[in-house]
Amino acid sequence: MAVQALRITNFPADSQGQIPRWPVALCRLGRSSDVLLPFAYCLPPCTPFAEVCGKILPHSFGYHPDWAKVGFTTATWLKSGQPWQPDPGKTLAENGLRHKDILRLQTPGLKGIDGSCS
């Protein structure tokens, strides 16, 4: 079935997706050891990274039996596939996160339920 636009809307081009440009940024966060797709969150750029770890991620991943064993001091992060070290005392924008970045939390020694990566 063909689709016809009712009107032309010109959105400003933004290939870099800088967070400060957007009032709310879309960030995708997931655990590398899980086969699940990352969760998507719409977060203000002023959100402290510590709040993401302390409140937002537990809300999404807290049901998983391994979550209580996650240690953020030993965990490592990937940002869009590259090693990344966030500063928990800074905001998302101050940590250099961009709109549509993907963060993967790597938790050494935690391989999912019975080692199934789930």
For residue 93, give both structure tokens: 């924008």
Residue range 89-98, pLDDT digits in tens? 999 989 988 8
Q: Which helix (H) or strand (E) holds 78?
A: strand 76-79
Q: What is the pLDDT of residues 42-93, one digit of tens each?
A: 888 889 999 998 998 888 888 877 778 877 788 888 888 899 999 999 999 8
Give pTM, 2 decimals.
0.70
pLDDT for 16 beyond 70? no
